[in-house]
C-alpha cells in the first residue's frame, strides 16, 4: 500500500481499512471547528489530476493535502494538454518527469490508474475510475456510518439507484462485505445487472424499493449517471415515482436509519428535499468525513 498508493477497496485488506478509518478519527475536527493543520506532508507535492467533473472529491483531496502541510497542484482535463490531443500516457509521463510524490487521479476509463501505476514509479490514489471503484468514497461512507453507529457489525444496508454505472456502489459493496454487513442492491432492472450479485458473497438484489428498505440501518442513494448511459435505461419522468427516496420510504427503515448520498444530489430525481434535508440525512457529514479520510489515506501513502 505504501508504495502502490490506493487503487481499490477490493484488494485492500480489512486491517488496512480499519487502520485508515481509525486514523481518520484523529483528523476529524471537534464540532464547529475547522480541520487542524499538521506538518506531516511537508515538502511533499501531490498532483490532483481530474479528467472528469468533480466538486467535492477534488476539493476534498486539496484541503486534505494542505491540512497535512503538503503542496497540491490540481489539473483538470479542460485546462490541460489533454484538450490539445495529448494521450493519457504522454500526459502522465510528462507529469511523472516532474517527480511529484503522489498522483490523485479521476478518469472515465475503468482501470486507468491501475494501468498507469504499473508504468510510473509514483504512488497513485484512485479518485474514481469509470464504473469500477471510488475507494476513498467507500472509506468516508464507512467513517460516517461508524460515527453514528459505532460499529459495522450486524448492519443491513440498502444501496439504491443506478447500480450498473456506480463505482461508489462497487467500492461500498467490497468494503461492507469485508465486515459482514448485509447489503441489498435495488434499482430498475436495466440498472441492476445480475452479475453485480456475484462480486461479493450474500448480496441481495431487488427491483422493489419498499422491500429493499424495510428494516435497514442505512440507505445509500445513488445518482442516475446519465453521462455513462448510452441509451435511455428507463423513462426519465417515472424514475422518481419508483426509485426516488421520499419520507414514506424512510418510515419503513429502522427508526434511526441513516440516509446517505455521495453527491451530487438531484433533488426530485433520486431523493426528495424533505429527506435530503432531514435529521436522518448524513449527506453533509459524508462531505466533512471526506477530508478526514483523505488525510489518513495521503498520510499512509506518503508519510516517510
* Positions in the binding site for ligand NCD (CB under 6 A): 56-57, 128, 134, 137, 167-168, 223, 225, 262-263
- Helix/strand/coil percent split, the chain, to 5: 45, 15, 40
Cβ of residue 223: shortest distance to ligand NCD, in angstroms? 3
Nearer to ligand NCD, 168 or 176 (CB): 168
Distance from C-alpha of 258 to C-alpha of 280, rounded to nearest angstrom:
5
Cβ of residue 222: shortest distance to ligand NCD, in angstroms? 6
Cβ of residue 140: shortest distance to ligand NCD, in angstroms? 9
Q: What angle do CA 224, 227, 229 make, to 5 degrees?
A: 75
Nearer to ligand NCD, 138 or 302 (CB): 138
Please check whether residue 286 is in contact with residue 144, taking contact to mean a CB–CB distance below 8 angstroms.
yes
Cβ of residue 184: shortest distance to ligand NCD, in angstroms? 19
Strand order in the sheet with 45-50: 5-6, 124-129, 102-107, 45-50, 71-76
Distance from C-alpha of 137 to C-alpha of 289, rounded to nearest angstrom:
10
Cβ of residue 142: shortest distance to ligand NCD, in angstroms? 15
Please check whether residue 141 is in contact with residue 21, taking contact to mean a CB–CB distance below 8 angstroms.
no
Distance from C-alpha of 129 to C-alpha of 107, rounded to nearest angstrom:
5
Torsion of CA 79, 82, 86, 87, to 10 degrees: 150
Spatial CB neighbours of 156, under 8 Å, sequence gap ≥ 6: 181, 182, 183, 184, 215, 216, 217, 218
Nearer to ligand NCD, 120 or 265 (CB): 265
Distance from C-alpha of 17 to C-alpha of 8, rounded to nearest angstrom:
11
Nearer to ligand NCD, 44 or 60 (CB): 60
Cβ of residue 255: shortest distance to ligand NCD, in angstroms? 27
Please check whether residue 294 is in contact with residue 253, taking contact to mean a CB–CB distance below 8 angstroms.
no
Nearer to ligand NCD, 114 or 214 (CB): 114
Cβ of residue 134: shortest distance to ligand NCD, in angstroms? 5
Nearer to ligand NCD, 44 or 223 (CB): 223
Nearer to ligand NCD, 56 or 66 (CB): 56
105: part of which helix (H) or strand (E)?
strand 102-107
Cβ of residue 116: shortest distance to ligand NCD, in angstroms? 19
The SS3 of residue 46 is strand
Nearer to ligand NCD, 44 or 290 (CB): 290
Query: Can you tell me which residue has the cell 445513488?
Result: 222
Residue nearest to ligand NCD (CB): 223
Amino acid at each position: 500500500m505504501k508504495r502502490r498508493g490506493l487503487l481499490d477497496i477490493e484488494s485492500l485488506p480489512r486491517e488496512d481499512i480499519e487502520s485508515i478509518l481509525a486514523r481518520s478519527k484523529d483528523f476529524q475536527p471537534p464540532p464547529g471547528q475547522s480541520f487542524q493543520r499538521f506538518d506531516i506532508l511537508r515538502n511533499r507535492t501531490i498532483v490532483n489530476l481530474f479528467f472528469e467533473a468533480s466538486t467535492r472529491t477534488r476539493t476534498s483531496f486539496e484541503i486534505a493535502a494542505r491540512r497535512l502541510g503538503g503542496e497540491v497542484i490540481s489539473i483538470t482535463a479542460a485546462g490541460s494538454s489533454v484538450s490539445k490531443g495529448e494521450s493519457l500516457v504522454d500526459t502522465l509521463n510528462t507529469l511523472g518527469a516532474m517527480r511529484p510524490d503522489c498522483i490523485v487521479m479521476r478518469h472515465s476509463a475503468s482501470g486507468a490508474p491501475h494501468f498507469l501505476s504499473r508504468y510510473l514509479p509514483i504512488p497513485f490514489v484512485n479518485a474514481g475510475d469509470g464504473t469500477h471503484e471510488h475507494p476513498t468514497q467507500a472509506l468516508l461512507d464507512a467513517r460516517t456510518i461508524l460515527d453514528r453507529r459505532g460499529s459495522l457489525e450486524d448492519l443491513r444496508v440498502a444501496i439504491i439507484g443506478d447500480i450498473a454505472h456506480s463505482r461508489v456502489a462497487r467500492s461500498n459493496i467490497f468494503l461492507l462485505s469485508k465486515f459482514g454487513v448485509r447489503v441489498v442492491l435495488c434499482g430498475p432492472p436495466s440498472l441492476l445487472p445480475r452479475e453485480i450479485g456475484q462480486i461479493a458473497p450474500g448480496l441481495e438484489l431487488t427491483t422493489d424499493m419498499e422491500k429493499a428498505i424495510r428494516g435497514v440501518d442505512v440507505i445509500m442513494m445513488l445518482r442516475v449517471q446519465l453521462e455513462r448511459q448510452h441509451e435511455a435505461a428507463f423513462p426519465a419522468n417515472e424514475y422518481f415515482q419508483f426509485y426516488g427516496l421520499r419520507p414514506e420510504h424512510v418510515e419503513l427503515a429502522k427508526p434511526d436509519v441513516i440516509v446517505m448520498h455521495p453527491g451530487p444530489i438531484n433533488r426530485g430525481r433520486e431523493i426528495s428535499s424533505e429527506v435530503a434535508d432531514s435529521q436522518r440525512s448524513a449527506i453533509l457529514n459524508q462531505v466533512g468525513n471526506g477530508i478526514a479520510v483523505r488525510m489518513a489515506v495521503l498520510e499512509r501513502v506518503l508519510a516517510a
